[in-house]
Amino acid sequence: MNITQKRNLLKSQLNENLALLEKAFNALTYSNDKCRVIGEKSNYDMEEQESFEALTSRFARTADILTQKVFKTVFALLQENVRTIIDAGNLMEKLGIVDNADTILNIRELRNQIAHEYVNSDLNMLFMDVLRYVPVVEKVIENVRTYVRKELN
């Protein structure tokens, strides 16, 4: 496979990953809208808790697709060897996709809390953190789309 073929394959993969990200973000937006109406409470009934659990799950999925699929394909197209999430954040800042590298670190940390530290006493705080970060993720996704359209096509 020559360089042009490899680049075209990576571009195709990036487009597939962006479509997957779009689908995941649409589901996240649906849950986000529903949970914003519910709002912050000291106790949630079972239906409300189910809505927030769907929100956190969809946030984690969207964050994974963004950081593990889309970013990695962008890095491959740029021929950048990015090994850590800190490196990814720094490169995203350098490319103008985020204003501050910590944005990517915070998204990933919140995703990790959802996946690994799901403790009942912290559920309300976790739910509110996710609600606060959905607009941040949306902005990063918009910026990635713009970057890809302008720089990689």
SS3 19: helix
Closest CA to 10 of 82, 71, 86: 71
- Confidence band (pLDDT; 50, 70, 90) for 120? low
Give the DSSP letter string of 88-126.
HHHHHHHTTS-SSTHHHHHHHHHHHHHHH---GGGHHHH
pTM: 0.94
Closest CA to 89 of 98, 81, 80: 98
Closest CA to 135 of 101, 109, 106, 92: 106
**What are the tens digits of pLDDT across the range 3-50?**
999 999 999 999 999 999 999 999 999 999 999 999 999 889 999 999
Q: Is 43 left (phi over 0), alpha (psi -120 to 50) or beta?
A: beta
Closest CA to 61 of 130, 121, 143: 130
CA within 13 Å, CB half, 139 = 14
CB 132 within 8 A of CB 119: no
**What are the tens digits of pLDDT across the range 78-117?**
999 999 999 999 999 999 999 999 999 999 999 999 988 6
pLDDT at 1 over 90: no
- CA gap 39, 48 in Å, rounded: 10
Q: Helices 46-64 and 123-147, interaxial angle, to 10°?
A: 40
Residue that has been written with the tokens 């993720």 in this structure: 137
